[in-house]
């Protein structure tokens, strides 16, 4: 071990020969089994155990469940055929969807990826997801077709059929890569056109030349092809693997064909006429065996047949001899009892898996020196800042990144914190002592004993002394022990500079912005007053570790381009961080997250006195897991939010066994819901079309409105207006002092717009930031204008400068195309209804970036559009914000955050402010309030004293809620997409379980060449608990589903629906609460939140009375 560490130490200094790679795949496709073979090649585990041990799955629950839950790293040594020595830092990642954030942490640290595909299952949802992740992080991938043995033993395909099957899978993988590529091309060209437009419009001189980047992209490199050597065919359990060039070398010698010809033709539609010594194209059309089947697969097929099926000893002997390999006598004996082990022994020497994989890794995957400009800028900038906007000190860091400068400034990225069992720390291991050390120790012990005896003799009170001695001994012991609470080690990569033990570095928080700091201050001044900058902390680097799977070995320093474990950061880093010797370094771009945590449970200790332990445990859990969220709810409950059931279980196990070490109660999972409104019914109870009535009213209202007749206006017009608004579901509210009247209504947003808003939440956040700056600019300008105007001059040409330098021009382009997209979608739907709405958007909510909108339809309020910051500001010259504008926005934010059904956030609701009238309404209000409190009833949210803007917030919140209640309200349930692979015989059972849980089959297709069905279904999250377990049980483990959050779906039933007609009452009972899914969901949430639930607690009171009588 020590030797290996020193060897690795030397290799770490040569970035050219380092490969940082991760293994990615769909769940169970064989990543960890593959890693075993690679580890065995370094002698860390024995070859015999490789494939069975799953060494990288070091947790007990990983071994029991058979799935990986954490990504973990190991450093391997490899000597290639040309005697070059390589250091391979390998990260094994989990494939289960619940742990996709673990994949993100792994991908972030690597330069290349091995994508593993089970050749029987083919391209699965997670395969596509990891290909996408690798693409986004600009990792170069290579492919491994794993479980090739299953084609022989399970599917029983012939070599030719297998070759066709593999060809099809390869096409599918390349189609995924192709779509990623074309999506990027389209996006870039889209932005190109928008950027040109933007330039014309805004006169901005920032040019981002996308086309240059595109031209340089040679897309032929993107695709996987066995001819290019980036595809390995393997069986991880049987320990073999090969690339095409192994066989091309072999046959080049045997048949006398040039090797490079074979390299090009061994894979593809080619066949050979050996006698004529010619290779032809078009094997498939002519019904010939392709070269791959004939020269490659047939050999393997016949080996399997001889060893596993026929168990023919003599023939095996011949094969071993012809392959020129040595199989031990022990392995030879296994042919009759354990033929698989014998097969493995042969393959291991003939076409060893580790050799094939590691040599392709060294040949085809990039070293840290080949990190691209694009990747560096992506890491440094995030998606809203532009590289050009950085100060020069920051820009100067880029060459250091690119060159892996050993003597440069230290830049380290921590992608996650790992809780390490103290027994795995090198300090915990007893090192064998040298003879001198033993002598010294013996001497010290003798001295101590003598001293103690002397003291005992001197002192009469012997008892006291004994106590002292006991204490001393105890202290001695404590010094040697390491506390058993988990130690945190940061999982990190050094990008530049040499990281040393004990070094002092700056820890840069996610909000640290060198642009802001360095443009206004000098570095020395900032360093002198570090306390004033909350996003910069000074930390001291603790021990450094080489990550060796389960073990850690100490290092003194780490050169750039390496993956390392860092101790001593647990008090400073929560999940991920950026460390550097300079504050000019920006905080790295946040990790991309594919899955949002969705399942929440509340936790409380069994003994209330253990509350502190629980809180400490939760803190540790939060630090140790990249995905979990730990919160304290308003109710005081401690809640953890996890990505799925498996993730939840792992978090609870961790909490119980490692972090809190107490017993606790876990609530039933809390499922999130959303609240929305749906279009009003087109027909009323009498079956009359409502729209025509509405139009009539509108007409009347308009014509009357235009009349100047004072009497008419006084009452009739008002009541007509009221009637018109009532039909539309408007409500009107008055401020407490009757200063203002607001008329507003809620309508469902077009679905497409909601979807766009939902998927662009991050950009909306940037828009909000821009909006805030814009308001300030506008305010300043207005102040300036008034001073200028009082001087008698008015500068009408004054356009408003906006502080855009920090916002990446790319982000601005994105926002612009978002605006265009929303505008287009609005205008496409229902003519007239949404015309010009995009320009009149007032705010997005909740949290200013949600998918509900507030729309300004007030005729006389010419409000600056929320898009002003990006669309140029010429049209805002005469526009101003009204005084109470902000209070209305705040009320809207509050209302959308918690709707009236069960205080869950709203989704896809547009609130339209129709009127905002100023004046004294006290008289009119009296008239209105005497009227019936129908739907359009005037609402008074009065009686509050204090500042109007403050009162208005809560008043508007209630107003928005009332407007919402004035429409048909619906609950929305979170839905999973559920991917299940099942054979025909268990398909019926899968459908039965899906049906029972309100699931809906979306797609179903049969895998070619097998009897496996691929079922995609939609399943409400609320019904999903225990689903995977039930499916597994019912199908005896033959089908296992993958659940991933996909979207929100309206629960069709009205939560307030009660049967009204006699028929309905007969059918559903008086309350119909057993049938109504929406009411059931709503009441569960309300009950949990302690809100009022309308229900009868006593059902049959009379019967109960009789019972008591009888007692």
Nearer to ligand GTP, 95 or 560 (CB): 95
Q: 508 contacts which partner out of Mg ion, ligand GTP, none, CB within 5 to 8 A by kind? A: none
| CA pair distance 849, 841, nearest whole angstrom | 12
Residue 987 beta carbon to ligand GTP: minimum distance, rounded to whole angstroms: 22
| CA pair distance 560, 88, nearest whole angstrom | 14
Nearer to ligand GTP, 98 or 763 (CB): 98
Segment interacting with Mg ion, rule: CB under 5 A, options 41-49, 63-71, 462-470, 902-910: 63-71
235 binds ligand GTP (CB under 6 A): yes
Count, residues in the chain: 1111
- The DSSP result for 1035-1081, as a single string, is TTTS---EEEEEEEEE-SS-TT----SHHHHHHHTTT-TTT-HHHHH
Q: Which two tokens stand for residue 453?
A: 């005896």
Number of shown-chain residues binding Mg ion (CB under 5 A) = 3
48 binds ligand GTP (CB under 6 A): no
Q: What are the beta bridge partners of residue 744?
A: 731, 913
31 binds ligand GTP (CB under 6 A): yes
236 binds ligand GTP (CB under 6 A): yes
Residue 35 beta carbon to ligand GTP: minimum distance, rounded to whole angstroms: 8
DSSP H helices, 676-717, are 690-706, 710-712
Nearer to ligand GTP, 27 or 802 (CB): 27
Residue 544 CA from chain centroid, whole number: 29
Segment interacting with ligand GTP, rule: CB under 6 A, options 65-73, 245-253, 318-326, 822-830: 65-73
- Name the closest residue to ligand GTP (Cβ): 95
One residue of 147, 385, 781, 808 binding ligand GTP per CB under 6 A: 147
Q: 818 contacts which partner out of Mg ion, ligand GTP, none, CB within 5 to 8 A by kind? A: none
Segment interacting with ligand GTP, rule: CB under 6 A, options 147-155, 426-434, 762-770, 842-850: 147-155
Residue 808 CA from chain centroid, whole number: 23
91: left (phi over 0), alpha (psi -120 to 50) or beta: beta
Residue 119 beta carbon to ligand GTP: minimum distance, rounded to whole angstroms: 9
Which residue in this structure is represented by tokens 């700091």? 517
Measured at the CA of 220, the angle between CA 83 and CA 298, to 5 degrees, comes to: 65
Segment interacting with ligand GTP, rule: CB under 6 A, options 26-34, 128-136, 297-305, 560-568: 26-34
Q: 147 contacts which partner out of Mg ion, ligand GTP, none, CB within 5 to 8 A by kind? A: ligand GTP
Residue 106 CA from chain centroid, whole number: 13
| CA pair distance 678, 746, nearest whole angstrom | 10
Nearer to Mg ion, 35 or 564 (CB): 35
Q: 33 contacts which partner out of ligand GTP, Mg ion, none, CB within 5 to 8 A by kind? A: ligand GTP
Contact set for ligand GTP, span 70-129 (CB under 6 A): 94-96
Segment interacting with Mg ion, rule: CB under 5 A, options 68-76, 290-298, 390-398, 613-621: 68-76
25 binds ligand GTP (CB under 6 A): yes
Phi/psi for 13 (5° steps) reads -85, -5
Measured at the CA of 791, the angle between CA 786 and CA 797, to 5 degrees, comes to: 60
Helix (H, G, I), strand (E, B) or coil at 663: coil
Q: 25 contacts which partner out of Mg ion, ligand GTP, none, CB within 5 to 8 A by kind? A: ligand GTP
One residue of 12, 19, 22, 28 binding ligand GTP per CB under 6 A: 28
Residue 731 beta carbon to Mg ion: minimum distance, rounded to whole angstroms: 57
Residue 177 beta carbon to Mg ion: minimum distance, rounded to whole angstroms: 23
Could you tell me what percentage of the chain is helix, strand and coil, using 3-state DSSP and rounding each to the nearest 5?
45, 20, 35
One residue of 18, 20, 54, 961 binding ligand GTP per CB under 6 A: 54
Q: Any residues with CB less than 8 A from the CB of 694 and at least 6 apart, and which?
A: 724, 727, 728
Helix (H, G, I), strand (E, B) or coil at 446: helix
Residue 92 beta carbon to Mg ion: minimum distance, rounded to whole angstroms: 6
30 binds ligand GTP (CB under 6 A): yes
Contact 134, 141 (CB under 8 A): yes
Contact 997, 1017 (CB under 8 A): no
650 binds ligand GTP (CB under 6 A): no
**Terminal C-alpha separation, the chain:** 80
DSSP β-ladder status, 72-79 and 240-242: unpaired
Question: Omega before 836 cis (within 30°)?
Answer: no
Helix (H, G, I), strand (E, B) or coil at 790: helix
237 binds Mg ion (CB under 5 A): no
Q: 28 contacts which partner out of ligand GTP, Mg ion, none, CB within 5 to 8 A by kind? A: ligand GTP
One residue of 20, 68, 195, 887 binding Mg ion per CB under 5 A: 68
| CA-wise closest residue to 301 among 99, 162, 424 | 162
Q: What are the beta bridge partners of residue 673?
A: 973
720 binds ligand GTP (CB under 6 A): no
Residue 32 beta carbon to Mg ion: minimum distance, rounded to whole angstroms: 3
- The DSSP result for 24-83, as a single string, is EESTTSSHHHHHHHHHHTTTSS-TTTTTTS-TT--SHHHHHHTS--S-EEEEEEEE-TTS
Q: Any residues with CB less than 8 A from the CB of 1077 and at least 6 apart, and which?
A: 998, 1051, 1053
| CA-wise closest residue to 351 among 228, 230, 253, 245 | 245
133 binds ligand GTP (CB under 6 A): no
One residue of 17, 71, 105, 237 binding ligand GTP per CB under 6 A: 237
| CA pair distance 88, 38, nearest whole angstrom | 10
Q: Which two tokens stand for residue 265?
A: 């033709």
Helices 159-202 and 809-828 meet at what angle, rounded to 10? 100
68 binds ligand GTP (CB under 6 A): yes
One residue of 71, 101, 146, 1079 binding ligand GTP per CB under 6 A: 146
DSSP β-ladder status, 969-983 and 599-605: unpaired
Q: 957 contacts which partner out of ligand GTP, Mg ion, none, CB within 5 to 8 A by kind? A: none
One residue of 17, 20, 33, 893 binding ligand GTP per CB under 6 A: 33
Number of shown-chain residues binding ligand GTP (CB under 6 A) = 22
Residue 71 beta carbon to Mg ion: minimum distance, rounded to whole angstroms: 9
One residue of 27, 627, 868, 955 binding ligand GTP per CB under 6 A: 27
Helices 125-136 and 159-202 meet at what angle, rounded to 10? 40
Segment interacting with ligand GTP, rule: CB under 6 A, options 234-242, 655-663, 1012-1020, 1068-1076: 234-242
Interface map 336-375 toward ligand GTP (x if CB under 6 A): ----------------------------------------
Q: Which two tokens stand for residue 140?
A: 């170069």
One residue of 50, 67, 376, 418 binding ligand GTP per CB under 6 A: 67
Interface map 31-50 toward Mg ion (x if CB under 5 A): xx------------------
| CA pair distance 413, 587, nearest whole angstrom | 9
Residue 98 beta carbon to ligand GTP: minimum distance, rounded to whole angstroms: 10
Nearer to Mg ion, 58 or 302 (CB): 58
Segment interacting with ligand GTP, rule: CB under 6 A, options 230-238, 251-259, 589-597, 638-646: 230-238
Segment interacting with ligand GTP, rule: CB under 6 A, options 25-33, 279-287, 803-811, 1052-1060: 25-33
Residue 644 beta carbon to ligand GTP: minimum distance, rounded to whole angstroms: 13
Q: Which two tokens stand for residue 163?
A: 């070759």
Contact set for ligand GTP, span 242-271 (CB under 6 A): none
The binding site for ligand GTP (CB under 6 A) comprises 25, 27-33, 54, 66-68, 94-96, 146-147, 149-150, 235-237
The binding site for Mg ion (CB under 5 A) comprises 31-32, 68
């Amino acid at each position: 071990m020590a030797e290996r560490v020193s060897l690795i130490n030397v290799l770490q200094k040569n970035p050219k020969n380092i490969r940082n790679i991760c293994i990615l795949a769909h769940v169970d496709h064989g990543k960890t089994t593959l890693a075993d073979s690679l580890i065995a090649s370094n002698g860390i585990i024995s070859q015999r155990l490789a494939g069975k041990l799953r060494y990288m799955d070091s947790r007990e629950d990983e071994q029991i469940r058979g799935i990986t839950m954490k990504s973990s790293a190991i450093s391997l040594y490899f000597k290639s055929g040309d005697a070059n020595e390589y250091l391979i830092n390998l990260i094994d990642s989990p494939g289960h969807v619940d742990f996709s954030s673990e994949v993100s942490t792994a991908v972030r640290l690597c330069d290349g990826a091995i994508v593993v595909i089970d050749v029987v299952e083919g391209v699965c949802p997670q395969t596509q997801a990891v290909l996408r992740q690798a693409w986004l992080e600009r990792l170069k991938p290579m492919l491994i077709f794993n479980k090739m043995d299953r084609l022989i033993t399970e599917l029983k395909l012939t070599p030719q059929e297998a070759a066709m099957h593999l060809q099809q899978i390869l096409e599918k993988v390349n189609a995924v890569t192709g779509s990623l590529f074309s999506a990027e091309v389209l996006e870039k060209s889209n932005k190109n056109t928008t950027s040109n437009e933007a330039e014309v419009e805004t006169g901005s001189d920032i040019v981002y030349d996308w086309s240059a980047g595109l031209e340089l992209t040679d897309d032929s490199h993107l695709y996987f092809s066995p001819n290019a050597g980036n595809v390995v065919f393997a069986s991880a359990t049987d320990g073999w693997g090969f690339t095409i060039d192994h066989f091309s070398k072999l046959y080049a010698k045997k048949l006398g064909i040039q090797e490079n010809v074979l390299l090009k033709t061994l894979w593809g539609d080619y066949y050979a006429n050996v006698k004529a010594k010619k290779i032809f194209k078009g094997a498939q059309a002519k019904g010939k065996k392709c070269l791959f089947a004939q020269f490659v697969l047939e050999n393997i097929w016949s080996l399997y047949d001889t060893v596993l099926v026929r168990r023919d000893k003599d023939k095996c002997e011949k094969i071993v001899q012809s392959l020129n390999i040595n199989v031990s006598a022990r392995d030879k004996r296994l042919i009759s009892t354990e033929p698989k082990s014998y097969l493995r022994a042969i393959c291991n020497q003939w076409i060893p898996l580790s050799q094939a994989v590691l040599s392709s890794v060294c040949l085809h995957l990039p070293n840290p020196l080949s990190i691209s400009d694009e990747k560096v800028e992506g890491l440094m900038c995030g998606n809203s800042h532009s590289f050009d906007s950085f100060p020069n000190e920051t820009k100067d860091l880029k060459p250091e990144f690119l060159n892996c400068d050993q003597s440069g400034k230290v830049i380290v990225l921590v992608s996650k914190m790992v809780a390490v069992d103290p027994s795995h720390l090198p300090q915990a291991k007893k090192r064998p002592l040298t003879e001198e050390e033993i002598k010294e120790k013996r001497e010290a012990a003798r001295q101590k004993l003598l001293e103690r005896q002397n003291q005992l003799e001197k002192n009469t009170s012997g008892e006291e002394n004994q106590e002292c001695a006991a204490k001393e001994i105890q202290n001695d012991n404590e010094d040697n022990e390491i506390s058993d609470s988990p130690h945190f080690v940061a999982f990190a990569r050094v990008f530049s500079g040499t990281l040393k033990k004990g070094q002092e570095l700056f820890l840069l928080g996610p909000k640290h912005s060198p642009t802001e700091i360095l443009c206004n201050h000098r570095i020395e001044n900032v360093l002198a007053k570090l306390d004033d900058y909350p996003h910069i902390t000074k930390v001291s680097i603790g021990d450094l570790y080489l990550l060796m799977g389960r073990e850690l070995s100490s290092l003194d320093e780490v050169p750039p381009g390496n993956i390392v474990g860092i101790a001593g950061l647990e008090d400073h880093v929560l999940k991920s961080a950026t460390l550097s010797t300079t504050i000019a370094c920006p905080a790295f771009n946040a990790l991309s997250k594919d899955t949002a945590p969705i399942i929440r449970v509340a936790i409380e200790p069994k003994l209330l006195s253990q509350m502190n332990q629980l809180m400490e445990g939760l803190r540790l859990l939060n630090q140790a897991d990249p995905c979990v969220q730990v919160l304290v709810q308003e109710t005081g409950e401690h809640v953890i939010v996890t990505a799925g059931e498996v993730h939840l279980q792992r978090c609870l196990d961790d909490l119980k066994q490692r972090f809190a070490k107490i017993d606790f109660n876990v609530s039933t999972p809390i499922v999130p819901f959303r609240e929305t409104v749906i279009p009003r019914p087109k027909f009323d109870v009498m079956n009359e079309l409502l729209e025509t009535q509405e139009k009539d009213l509108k007409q009347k209202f308009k014509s009357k409105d235009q009349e100047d007749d004072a009497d008419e206006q006084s009452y009739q017009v008002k009541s007509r207006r009221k009637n018109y608004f009532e039909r539309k579901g408007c409500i009107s509210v008055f401020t407490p002092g009757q200063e203002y009247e607001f008329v507003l209504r809620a309508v469902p947003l077009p679905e497409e717009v909601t979807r766009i808003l939902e998927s662009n939440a991050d950009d909306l956040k940037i828009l909000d930031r821009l909006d805030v700056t814009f308001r300030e600019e506008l305010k300043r300008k207005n102040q300036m204008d008034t001073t200028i105007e009082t001087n008698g001059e008015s500068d009408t040409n004054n356009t408003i400068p906006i502080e855009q330098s920090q916002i990446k021009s790319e982000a601005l382009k994105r926002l612009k195309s978002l605006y265009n997209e929303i505008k287009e979608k609005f205008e496409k739907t229902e003519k007239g209804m949404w015309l010009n709405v995009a320009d009149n958007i007032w705010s997005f909510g909740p949290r200013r970036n949600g998918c509900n909108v507030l729309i300004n339809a007030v005729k006389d309020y010419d409000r600056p559009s929320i898009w002003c910051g990006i669309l140029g500001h010429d049209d805002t010259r005469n526009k101003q914000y009204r005084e109470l504008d902000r209070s209305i926005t705040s009320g809207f934010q509050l209302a959308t955050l918690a709707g009236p059904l069960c205080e869950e956030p709203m989704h896809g609701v547009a609130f339209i402010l129709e009127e905002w009238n100023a004046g004294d309404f006290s008289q009119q209000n009296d008239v209105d309030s005497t009227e019936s409190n129908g739907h359009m009833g005037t609402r008074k949210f009065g009686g509050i004293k204090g500042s109007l803007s403050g009162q208005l917030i809560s008043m508007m919140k209630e107003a928005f809620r009332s407007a919402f209640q004035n429409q048909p309200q619906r609950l929305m349930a979170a839905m999973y997409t559920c991917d299940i692979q099942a054979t025909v015989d268990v398909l019926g059972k899968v459908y039965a379980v899906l049906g029972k849980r309100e699931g809906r089959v979306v797609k179903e297709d049969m895998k070619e060449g097998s009897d496996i069905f691929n079922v995609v279904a939609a399943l409400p999250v609320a019904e999903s608990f225990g689903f995977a377990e039930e499916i597994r049980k019912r199908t005896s483990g033959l089908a296992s589903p993958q659940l991933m959050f996909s979207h929100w779906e309206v629960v069709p039933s009205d939560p307030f629906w009660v049967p009204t007609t006699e028929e309905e009452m007969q059918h559903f009972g008086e309350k119909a609460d057993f049938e109504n899914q929406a009411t059931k969901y709503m009441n569960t949430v309300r009950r949990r939140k302690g809100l009022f639930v309308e229900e009868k607690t006593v059902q049959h009171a009379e019967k109960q009375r009789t019972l008591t009588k009888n007692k």
